[in-house]
Amino acid sequence: MALIENIIKKIMDTGVITSKEQLSKSVYKIEIQSEAIKTMDFVPGCFIRLGVGIGQNARAKKDMVRSYSIWNINKEKQTMDLAIATHSNGIGAQWVKDCTVGDTVYYKTKRGKFTVDTTADSYLMIGDLSALAHLYIINRYLAVDTHVESIIYTKDVSELYADIDNEKPFNFYSIEAYQPKEIIAKIEAITPRLKGVKMAYIAGDSRVCIAIHNYLRKAHKWNTKQIKTKPFWNPNKTGLE
Ligand SMILES: Cc1cc2nc3c(=O)[nH]c(=O)nc-3n(C[C@H](O)[C@H](O)[C@H](O)COP(=O)(O)OP(=O)(O)OC[C@H]3O[C@@H](n4cnc5c(N)ncnc54)[C@H](O)[C@@H]3O)c2cc1C
């Protein structure tokens, strides 16, 4: 694996961890400083593939990299912030528990399609702990008078942290993993408040992404362009992307 590790290092950008803070029982905020951030082609919703398994004697390439959303970026200071949850208990979770200020990191920026879209009048944000940073940054880049409804859930709501500016613009709910019926009941109460052109951002557990996407399509006749979904993790897989 040393050869693959060397190739990954060569094609990735490098940075240094400049700050580490525990935001809640199972979430860490990591600030990375990197020269490449100054010229990064950034749009809100970009994420990085982070080399969490580099130098760890990983047995396969899939054990080397995990995806994390850019929660905040400061091009002048050449820094970006991540919020990494540890519910998965995988190599990414272990990496964030173990990493320390001063560590070198390897990463590659990715854009995808789960990025900010300001064309709607009202928005519905749905996600679990893993998706919170991503939904926060999308929300911050919408116009200030945009109507936003949200269902952010996890079993223990005390694990859900505030946004980078210390605001809590979303509604937090205590819901166990994979309970689409509970989420749908909450959507039922919310949808009458969504006016004009509507858009949903749904991220986190792949099963919830699929269930809510199908529900909005069938029960509310939303078209696929209105429903942006991004599975962040799948119970039968390690890593995604
Ligand atoms: C585009 C994108 C952006 C992402 N942004 C973030 C982010 O900003 N912050 C963040 O914390 N995560 C984010 N994720 C999710 C993160 O990449 C996954 O949770 C990843 O699987 C964690 O890696 P791991 O090595 O800790 O666990 P893995 O080895 O990948 O998985 C171990 C086990 O845990 C399960 N699992 C994985 N994630 C979770 C979870 N969140 N809750 C419960 N079980 C889980 C897996 O199904 C598997 O059974 C993002 C994913 C994508 C695709």
Phi-psi region of 125 (alpha: psi -120 to 50; beta: other; left: phi over 0): beta
Ligand 1 in reach of 47 Cβ (< 6 A):
yes
φ, ψ (nearest 5 deg) of residue 165:
-90, 15
The torsion defined by the Cα of 235, 25, 97 and 103, in degrees rounded to 10, comes to 120
For the chain, give the number of residues.
Answer: 241
Give the Å distance between the CA of 111 and the centre of ligand 1. Answer: 18
The torsion defined by the Cα of 70, 73, 78 and 83, in degrees rounded to 10, comes to -40
Residue pair 207/231 in contact by the 8 Å Cβ criterion: no
What pLDDT score was predicted for residue 62? 79
Ligand 1 in reach of 155 Cβ (< 6 A):
no
Ligand 1 in reach of 92 Cβ (< 6 A):
yes
Amino acid, res. 117? D
Ligand 1 in reach of 64 Cβ (< 6 A):
no
User: Could you confirm whether domain 122-233 is CATH 2.40.360.20?
Assistant: no
What pLDDT score was predicted for residue 54? 87
Residue 129, CA atoms < 13 Å, CB-side half-sphere:
25
pTM exceeds 0.95 for this model: yes
Shortest-distance atom of ligand 1 to CA 112: 1
Give the Å distance between the CA of 118 and the centre of ligand 1. Answer: 27
What pLDDT score was predicted for residue 237? 93
The residue nearest atom 33 of ligand 1, judged by CA position, is 88
Give the Å distance between the CA of 48 and the centre of ligand 1. Answer: 13
Give the Å distance between the CA of 145 and the centre of ligand 1. Answer: 32
Ligand 1 in reach of 67 Cβ (< 6 A):
yes
What pLDDT score was predicted for residue 130? 98
Q: Which positions of the chain have pLDDT values less than 70?
A: none
Secondary structure (DSSP) of 96-161: HHH--TT-EEEEEEE--S-S-----SEEEEEE-GGGHHHHHHHHHTS-TT-EEEEEEEESSGGGPP
Question: Could you tell me the residue ranges of all domains in the chain?
Answer: 2-110, 122-233
Q: Minimal CA–CA distance to 41: which of 115, 130, 118?
A: 115
Amino acid, res. 101? V
Ligand 1 in reach of 62 Cβ (< 6 A):
no
Largest CA distance in the chain: 56
List CB contacts of 38: < 8 A, sequence separation 6 or more.
75, 78
Tokens 């926060």, located at residue: 136
Domain 2-110 belongs to what topology? Elongation Factor Tu (Ef-tu); domain 3 (2.40.30)
Same fold, 2-110 and 122-233: no
Pocket residue to mutate for ligand 1, from 233, 237, 241, most atoms within 8 A of Cβ: 233
Give the Å distance between the CA of 239 and the centre of ligand 1. Answer: 6
